[in-house]
Amino acid sequence: MSALSEAPPAARPQLGPGTWAALVTLLAGALCLIFAPRLPWLTAWPADWVLLDTKSLSAWLEAALRFIRPAARLVSALLAYPMGWANALFLATPWPLFIGIVTAIGWLIGGAAMASLGFLGLVFVLISGYWAEGMSTLALVAVSVPVALLAGLAIGLLANEVPRVKGAVQVLLDVMQTVPTFAYLTPLVLLFGFGPVVGLIASAIYAAPPMARNVILGFERVETEIKEAAIMSGATRFQQLFQVEIPAAGRQIMVGFNQCLMAALSMVIIAAVIGGFNDIGWEVLLTMRKALFGQSLLAGLVIVAFAVVIDRMSGALAFERARHDRRVALAILGVALLATLLVWWRHPDPEAFRLLTPLAEAVDKGLGAFTASQGATLDALKNNAMFYGLLPLRIGLDDSVLPFTWGFQWTAWMSGAWFAVAALAGLALALSGRVTAGIALTIGLGIIETGIAQLPWPFVLIGAGALGHVAGGRRLALLSVVLLLAILVSGLWDRALLSLYLCTASVVACVLVGGALGLASAVSPTVWRVVRPVCDMLQTIPLFVFLIPVLMFFQIGEFSAFLAICAYAVVPMIRYTRHGLVETPPEMVEAATAAGATTWQMLRDVRAPWAAPTILLGLNQTILYAFSMLVIAALIGTTDLGQSIFLALGQADIGLGVSAGAAMAILAFIADRLVQGFARGQREALGL
Amino acid sequence: MSDAATPAISCRHLWQVFGPNAKAELVSALAAHGRDGNAAAAELRAKGLIPAVQDVSFDVRPGELFVIMGLSGSGKSTLVRCLSRLLDVTAGDVRIQGEDIATASKARLIELRRKKLGMVFQHFGLFPHMSVLDNVAYPLRVQGIGRAQRQAKAREVIELVGLGGRESAFPRNLSGGQRQRVGIARSLVGDCEVWFLDEPFSALDPLIRRQLQDEFLQIRAKLNTTIVFITHDIAEALKLADRIAIMRDGKVIQIGTPSQIVLNPVDDYVREFARDVAKGRHARVDSVMKPAHGTLAEGPSLREGMTLDAALAACVAAQAPVAVRDGAGAVVGQIDPADLVSALHVEET
């Protein structure tokens, strides 16, 4: 690059791969635009061209599943036993004793802070009146987590011991991470039948990959010399593994345990969608459907309390080293026993302590009053965002600009003018030396005119291929195109574009808001002190709970879905932006200071370029978060792939469920690989 | 222990090539070039493979302290991993006390490592989850030796390396020098007969390094082990070694005693190493001594094993050749002071 800038200005600048990719995409877009009016199949994939529709896929899959169903039913019958035991145990344990046990464990793990966290969390559950439901949920987690832990450990060990399968295992884990949560459920329902066991199995399947990932990572991070020292000590492979490598990887494995627990809890709650079995997830869903938002919020907070207690305690297990006096834990247990004798004896029913119901009702009333008085404002907010932001992005200016909303009708003449302006703006940028940026601007303006949901498929395929080529070479380009083609021939293209649109809209919002918050947090420690606990909290809350507050204010609809996705997906953007900006090597900062840079110059010229790869990774996480929330958001009214997956679950339509789930996974997978490719390029450019 | 005639370690035509299909590629490259190692290595490099150790052969005598010296990337750490079979050699023969290591079974290797081999690592390789005592006792634990017995033995060795009192500390609580003492103690607890040290002092700062070198020599004097010591530091090599092998680009280019290396560097590469060395402090009178003939003048006499600096100081006024005597006082040779001076200044030419 430096050689280029030193070349005399008369020399014709050579076009980089990025510029070529942008040019090819622009050309494809222009051609599609010209021919679209005459060739309707450019925008709408004809039904005749669908090679594998969801119905025939259903038939195929059901035929295949018939063979394993008896085995699956056996497993589910067998699993019903430990589940029954766990349920009975958790429900039969007197509540003061349970609170005491958790508090004592909290003390052992993290001293007074953890003990009080456990105590307060469970007391909240008690007075919320959802003790029994909460215990059912915990019982499910208690059975699914050991299964997931063992499976994860086994997969990790396998990948470590048999290097040949490691690559395949890692690809499988990548794919499992991108498959949306509901998509797991449909085949499982068909295999295992409705009921709590499906939730158990789904949660075990969902929670095993993070464990496996961390086990693999932990083994990789054990220093070579530590492994060699074990070998040279004359240890057998078994001794090396269990006496040295697993303990040395202990911290990473504990991180895996933490993530495994959280994933299991999250999935147990989501699995409530397939059937009520008196657990807390079902309670949230039920109250949400009845529009009892106060109750729903209360139940949601119970989930949050569980999540926070479980997360902080298992997290402390990985990072805390201090030991705490066992006698205090015993004393806590003693007090709990005493309380059991004194209180529980007379009030064995935790329902007696339901203290927060009036509060929930008050919230309901207050909310009703608020929406009644401020309804106009809320509606205006929602409608403005829909009409001037989301809709144009979805169906394009040409279809969304109507006299009813914008005050005038979009005409073909306006389209022409828009494209001319786009071309001129792009040209101006290109002439000032930023050719790629110019072309990208033109393409972007073109997309806004057309709308993401109405993009011609050849343009999307060529664009993805071109991006893939820049980010990861020919293989990624080919992979992207082939995978997108698979969505096309399965007849889910229109819904996939809707997912793409909703995801793009939320990611753009997250980048703007999250980037700004990250920047502010990087510049001002005070801001970070406020933002950080909020981020921690948002990351701990199971996806489901995000739906409650948006529903309270904006009812069912795309805008609520958009808000829920943003609330969940904005966190990584904030975190990574701040982290990248703050973690600039001190010697670079000192060099810039010595050169006389102001704070803003430092931010722009030194910190931002250094942070770019980190911020890209944050973007990557944000995209993946958005995709996973997209499916949950189907509960509150969307029309995309997520909705198909959700519908498939309700109708036990395995073909639709699997293909929509796969399509969603494909979109997330391609986005993930593209952004990772760009991040890698940035890191290499910085010599990292 | 095998008899003294068998080398403690012997390797012949040892190759370690990294890359896909290394074994087959090496065989075909050697066949194509009539067993010419350099040409074969060049061909392997051209194909994108990495010949980290090329056609290395040497013997280490029982009880010898054999130093392998080279810059980073010269293949010395790879070589020591071939000798201890932490890596499977691509081709060639490694024998420890006459026993073929390269083809030893897994069970036999474990047996050998438990009974005969010890190894110290550059970055210590301590087990982070074990105390000093448990780290040191680990080689005994894997043999199934009871807790009391192995801890007693470990305490002895910890005392030997001067860490008494820190038994219950964890590696993270120790300084670099202390950590390496633990590493040394752990490698010694099994009473090894062959002791590999892979740059044991390179990660330490110079003051601690010198202190540990001195202690290492003291420990060595108490033991009767054969030692293979890896370093990139010429001063360290000269200070410790009985013999030094110098490695460059995967090849051993010179093997000799410290004096031989300093006084007769085999090529510019070795001369470059030797240039910065205060020769008088490392070369011994033996290297410039000639057989005694005729009667020698009375006056100062030199002793076998004296460094050149000491010799020069002792006979600075002498004009005629000076006698060199052994420990018992018998004359073993003579030295012309002029030879002494020219040996010390060979560099300036």
Looking up residue B295, the CATH number of its domain turns out to be 3.10.580.10
Q: Which amino acid is at A333?
A: L
Q: For A321-358, how does the pLDDT look when each residue is reduced to its tens digit (9 = 90+)? A: 677 788 888 888 888 888 888 877 777 777 777 878 88
Give how far B265 is from chain A: nearest CA, Å.
34
Tokens read off for B290: 């000639």
- So what's the pLDDT on residue A648? 86
What's residue B299's pLDDT?
64
**pLDDT-based confidence at residue A296 (cuts at 50, 70, 90):** confident
pLDDT confidence band for A275 (50 / 70 / 90): low
Distance from CA of B132 to the nearest CA of A (A): 14
Residue A239: list chain B partners with CB under 8 A: 142
Residues B247 and B336 in one domain: no
Q: State mean pLDDT over B111-133.
A: 92
Q: How confident is the model over B176-182, as a mean pLDDT?
A: 93
- Within a domain: residue B228? yes
A384-422 pLDDT tens trace? 888 888 888 888 888 888 888 888 888 888 888 888 998
Search chain A and give the residue with CA nearest B117.
A232
* Residue B226 shares a structural domain with residue B98: yes
SS3 B214: helix
- Measured between alpha carbons, how far is B331 from B35 in angstroms, rounded to an integer? 48
Q: Which of B121, B142, B187 sits opposite A239 (nearest CB)?
A: B142
Backbone φ, ψ for residue B196 (5° rounding):
-100, 130
Q: Which amino acid is located at B104 in the chain?
A: A
Residue B51 belongs to some domain of the structure = no
Residue pair A219/A287 in contact by the 8 Å Cβ criterion: no
Residues contacting residue A332 through CB under 8 Å, at least 6 positions apart: A100, A103, A104, A107, A115
Residue B26 in any domain: the answer is: no
Give the mean model confidence (pLDDT) for residues A256-284.
84
**pLDDT, tens only, A219-228:** 999 999 999 9
- Whose tokens are 């081709």? That residue is B91
Which of A232, A245, A246, A251 to substitute to test the interface with B, most B CBs within 10 Å?
A232
On whether both B257 and B109 belong to a single domain, the answer is yes
Look at residue A209 in the predicted model and tell me its pLDDT.
Answer: 92
- In this structure, chain A runs to a length of 688
In a domain, B105, yes or no: yes
Please tell me whether residues B141 and B246 are part of one structural domain: yes
Residue of B nearest to A224 (CA): B125
How many Cα atoms within 13 Å fall on the side-chain side of residue A589?
12
pLDDT score for A20 = 81
Share of chain B above pLDDT 70, in %: 92
Cα distance between residue A632 and residue A364, in whole Å: 24
Summarised one tens digit per residue, pLDDT across range A610-642 is: 888 889 989 999 999 999 898 888 888 788 888
Q: What pLDDT is stored for residue A404 in this prediction?
A: 81
Residue of B82, B111, B119 to mutate for A, most A C-beta atoms under 10 A: B119
Q: Would you say residue B149 lies in a domain?
A: yes
Mean pLDDT of A470-484: 91
Residue A276: per-residue pLDDT: 60
Most confident of A165-174, A503-512, B31-40, B324-333: A503-512
Look at residue A121 in the predicted model and tell me its pLDDT. Answer: 94
Domain end among B231, B261, B277 = B277
Q: For chain B, give the number of residues.
A: 349
Comparing CB atoms, the residue among A223, A228, A234 nearest residue B142 is: A234
Domain parsing of chain A, residue ranges: 16-41+393-486, 56-370, 490-688
> A479 falls in which pLDDT band (50, 70, 90)?
very high
* Cross-chain CB nearest to B119 (options A232, A247, A248): A232
Q: Taking a C-beta distance cutoff of 8 angstroms, is the pair A393, A505 a contact?
A: yes
pLDDT mean over A51-64:
83
A243/B125 Cβ within 8 A: no
DSSP code for A442: H
**Residues of A within an 8 Å Cβ radius of B:** 223, 225-226, 228-236, 239, 243-244, 247-248, 250
- Chain B, 186 to 225: residues with Cβ < 8 Å from chain A are 186-187, 190, 196
Pick the CATH number of A490-688 from 1.10.3720.10, 1.10.10.10, 3.30.465.10, 3.30.2010.10: 1.10.3720.10
Place of tokens 């003048």: B297
Average pLDDT value for residue range A651-670: 89
Q: Which CATH class is domain A56-370?
A: mainly alpha
Q: β-strands B194-198, B9-18: how paired? A: unpaired
User: Is the pLDDT score of A7 beyond 50?
Assistant: no
Is the separation of the CB atoms in B36 and B25 below 8 Å? Answer: no
Question: What is d(CA A408, CA A425) in angstroms, rounded to the nearest whole number?
Answer: 25
**Structural domain harbouring B257:** 60-277
Which of A226, A232, A248 faces B113 most closely, judged by CB atoms? A232
Name the CA radius of gyration of chain B, rounded: 23
Helices (H), A129-162: 131-161
Closest residue on chain A to B118 (Cα): A232
Q: Which residue of B has its CA nearest to A244?
A: B127
| Confidence label for A181 from pLDDT (cuts 50, 70 and 90) | confident
My answer on whether B123 and B211 are in the same domain is yes
Q: How far is A248 from chain B, CA to nearest CA, in Å?
A: 6
Q: Do B64 and B110 have their domain in common?
A: yes
Q: In angstroms, what separates the C-alpha of A226 from chain B's closest C-alpha?
A: 4
Confidence of residue B118 (pLDDT cuts 50, 70, 90): very high
Minimal CA separation from B105 to chain A, in Å: 13
In which band, very low, low, confident or very high, does the pLDDT at A124 lie, cut at 50, 70 and 90? very high
A16 DSSP assignment? P
Predicted pLDDT at B117: 92
Whether the domain at A56-370 and the domain at A490-688 fall into the same CATH topology: yes
- Partners of residue B113 in chain A, C-beta under 8 Å: 231-234
Distance (Å, whole) CA A548 – CA A538: 13
pLDDT tops 70 at residue A156: yes
A54-69: b (≥16 Cβ within 10 Å) or e: beebbeebeeeeeeee
B287 shares its domain with B272:
no
* Same-domain status, B262 and B314: no
Q: Which two tokens mark A531? A: 């933002």
**Helix/strand/coil (H/E/C) assignment for every residue in A228-260:** HHHHHCCCCHHHHHHHHHHHHCHHHHHHHHHHH
Query: Do B339 and B239 have their domain in common?
Result: no
pLDDT at A546: 87
Q: Are residues B87 and B235 in the same domain?
A: yes
User: How far is it, in rounded angstroms, from Cα B250 to Cα B78?
Assistant: 9
Rounded Cα gap, residues A576 and B319, in angstroms: 79
Residue in A343, A342, A341, A329 with CA at minimum distance from that of residue A103: A329
- Is the residue at B9 inside a domain? no
State the Cα torsion B188-B193-B197-B201 to the nearest 10°: 50
Q: Give every CB contact of residue A385 below 8 A, 6+ residues apart in sequence.
A: A559, A562
CA-to-CA distance for A122 and A98, rounded, in angstroms?
Answer: 9
Of B250, B277, B304, at which residue does a domain stop?
Answer: B277
Q: What percent of chain B has pLDDT over 90?
A: 53
CA closest to B108 among chain A residues: A234
Whether A517 has a pLDDT exceeding 90, the answer reads yes
Decide if B225 is inside a domain: yes
Residue A256 Cα, gap to closest chain B Cα (Å): 18
Of A145-149, A266-270, B227-231, B246-250, minimum mean pLDDT range: A266-270
**3-state helix vs strand vs coil in chain B, percent to 5:** 40, 20, 40
The domain total for chain B is 2
Dig out the tokens for A129 from the structure: 């009146």
Residues in contact with B203: Cβ distance below 8 Å, sequence separation at least 6, in sequence order: B122, B123, B124, B176, B180
Query: Does pLDDT of B345 surpass 70?
Result: no
B118 touches chain A (CB under 8 A): yes
Confidence of residue B217 (pLDDT cuts 50, 70, 90): very high
> Please, are residues B231 and B198 in contact by the beta-carbon 8 Å criterion?
no
CATH number where B190 lies: 3.40.50.300
Structure tokens, B247: 């490695």
CB contact under 8 A, B190 and A234: yes
Interface residue B126 vs chain A (CB under 8 A):
yes
Distance from CA of B252 to the nearest CA of A (A): 25
Interface contact A232-B187, CB threshold 8 A: yes
Cβ distance of A234 and B125 shorter than 8 Å: no
Q: Is B139 at the interface with chain A, CB within 8 A?
A: yes
Return mean pLDDT, chain B: 86
Partner A, chain B 148-187, Cβ-Cβ below 8 Å:
183, 186-187
Q: For residue B69, what is the enclosing H or E element?
A: strand B65-69
Cα dist. B38→B29, B53, B347 in Å? Answer: 10, 11, 30
The pLDDT score that the predictor gives to residue A516 is 93
Is the same domain home to B204 and B310? no
**Are A231 and B86 inside 8 Å of each other by CB?**
yes
Q: Regarding predicted confidence, which is higher, A126 or A2? A: A126
> What mean pLDDT comes out for the span A150-161?
93
As beta bridge partners, residue B254 has B246
- H/E stretch holding B227: strand B226-231
pLDDT for residue A571 is more than 90? yes
CB–CB of A232/B84 below 8 Å? Answer: yes
Phi-psi label, residue A291: left if phi above 0, alpha if psi -120 to 50, beta otherwise: left
Residue of chain A minimizing CA distance to B107: A236
The residue type of B224 is: N
Smallest CA–CA distance, residue B315 to chain A, in Å, is: 50
Please check whether residues B90 and B221 belong to one and the same domain: yes
Picking from B277, B306, B331, the residue at the C-terminal end of a domain is B277
Q: How many CB atoms lie within 10 A of CB A395?
A: 16
Does residue B261 lie in a domain region? yes
| CA-based nearest distance A245→chain B, Å | 9
Return the higher-pLDDT residue of A584 and A159. Answer: A159
